[in-house]
Structure 1
Amino acid sequence: MSAETFENGTFVGRVWRPDVEGPALVVLRDGVLYDITSKETPTMRDLLERDDPAAFVRAQDGEALLSLEDLAEQSVEATGILTQFHFLAPCDLQAVKACGVTFARSMIERVIEEKAAGNPALALKIRERVTAIIGDSLRNLKAGSQEAAKVKAALIEENVWSQYLEVGIGPDAEVFSKAQVLSAVGWGASVGLHPISNWNNPEPEIVLAVDSSGRVKGATLGNDVNLRDVEGRSALLLGKAKDNNASAAIGPFIRLFDETYSIDDVRNADLDLMIKGEDGFELKGHSTMKEISRDPLDLVSQTIGTHHQYPDGFMLFMGTLFAPVEDRDVAGEGFTHKKSDVVTISNPELGSLTNTVRLSTECPPWTFGTAALMRNLAARGLL
Structure 2
Amino acid sequence: MKVLRYYNDRNEPVLAALTEKNRVLNLPQNDFMQLVHEADAEGLSAKQWIEKHMNELEELGNPAESLSLAVPITAPEVWAAGVTYERSRVARNYESTNGRMNTATFYDKVYDAERPELFIKSTAARTVGPNEDLYLRSDSAWQIPEPELGLVIDGRGRILGYTIGNDMSSRDIEGENPLYLPQAKVWKRSCSIGPVILLADAVEDPYKFEIRCEIYRNDVKVVDGSATTGQLKRKLDELVSYLIRDNEIFEGTVLLTGTCIVPPNEFTLEDGDRVEISISGIGLLVNPIRSQNHKN
TM-score by structure 1 length?
0.69
1:95-128 alpha-carbon deviations (Å, 9 max, x no partner)? 2111011111220210121123xxxxxx4xx2xx
1:43-82 alpha-carbon deviations (Å, 9 max, x no partner)? 22222344411111232534445432321xxxxxxxxxxx
Q: 1:355 aligns with which of 287, 292, 296?
A: 287
> Which residue does the alignment assign to 1:23?
13
> Which residue does the alignment assign to 2:262?
323
Q: CA distance change for structure 1 residues 161 and 309 in 2, over 3 Å: closer, same or farther?
A: same
Q: CA distance change for structure 1 residues 106 and 311 in 2, over 3 Å: closer, same or farther?
A: closer
1:96 aligns with 2:78: yes
3-state SS of paired residue (2:93)? helix
> Which residue does the alignment assign to 1:304?
244
The amino acid that maps onto 2:78 is: V
Mapped to 2, the partners of 1:237 and 1:16 lie a distance apart of: 37
> Which residue does the alignment assign to 2:25?
34
> Which residue does the alignment assign to 2:272?
340
Compute the RMSD of aligned alpha carbons: 2.2
1:250 Cα offset (Å): 0.9
> Which residue does the alignment assign to 1:230?
173
> Which residue does the alignment assign to 1:48?
36
> Which residue does the alignment assign to 2:129?
186
> Which residue does the alignment assign to 1:105?
87
3-state SS of paired residue (2:262)? coil
Mapped to 2, the partners of 1:313 and 1:281 lie a distance apart of: 34
1:189-208 alpha-carbon deviations (Å, 9 max, x no partner)? 11221111211111111101
Percent of counterpart pairs with the same letter?
A: 29
Mapped to 2, the partners of 1:48 and 1:228 lie a distance apart of: 37
1:343-369 alpha-carbon deviations (Å, 9 max, x no partner)? 1111221111111111245499xxxxx
1:164 aligns with 2:146: no
1:244 Cα offset (Å): 1.8
Q: CA distance change for structure 1 residues 279 and 91 in 2, over 3 Å: closer, same or farther?
A: closer
1:57 aligns with 2:50: yes
Mapped to 1, the partners of 2:210 and 2:83 lie a distance apart of: 18
1:12 aligns with 2:12: no
Mapped to 2, the partners of 1:363 and 1:94 lie a distance apart of: 30
Q: CA distance change for structure 1 residues 349 and 31 in 2, over 3 Å: closer, same or farther?
A: closer
> Which residue does the alignment assign to 2:232?
292
Mapped to 2, the partners of 1:355 and 1:220 lie a distance apart of: 15
> Which residue does the alignment assign to 2:218?
278
- Counterpart contact for 2:126–2:187, Cα < 8 Å: no
Mapped to 2, the partners of 1:162 and 1:301 lie a distance apart of: 26
1:175 Cα offset (Å): 0.7
> Which residue does the alignment assign to 1:216?
159
- Counterpart contact for 2:277–2:286, Cα < 8 Å: yes
- Counterpart contact for 1:14–1:90, Cα < 8 Å: yes
The amino acid that maps onto 1:14 is: R
Q: 2:69 aligns with which of 79, 83, 87?
A: 87
Q: CA distance change for structure 1 residues 168 and 195 in 2, over 3 Å: closer, same or farther?
A: same
TM-score by structure 2 length?
0.88
Q: Counting strand residues as a fraction of each chain, which structure ranks higher? A: 2
Report which stretch shifted further, 200-209 or 88-97: 88-97
Mapped to 1, the partners of 2:238 and 2:137 lie a distance apart of: 31
- Counterpart contact for 1:94–1:314, Cα < 8 Å: yes
> Which residue does the alignment assign to 1:261?
203
1:67 aligns with 2:63: yes
Mapped to 2, the partners of 1:195 and 1:361 lie a distance apart of: 9
What stretches of structure 1 of length at least 5 have no aligned partner? 1-9, 72-85, 117-122, 134-159, 326-332, 365-383
- Counterpart contact for 1:45–1:93, Cα < 8 Å: no
Mapped to 2, the partners of 1:352 and 1:308 lie a distance apart of: 32
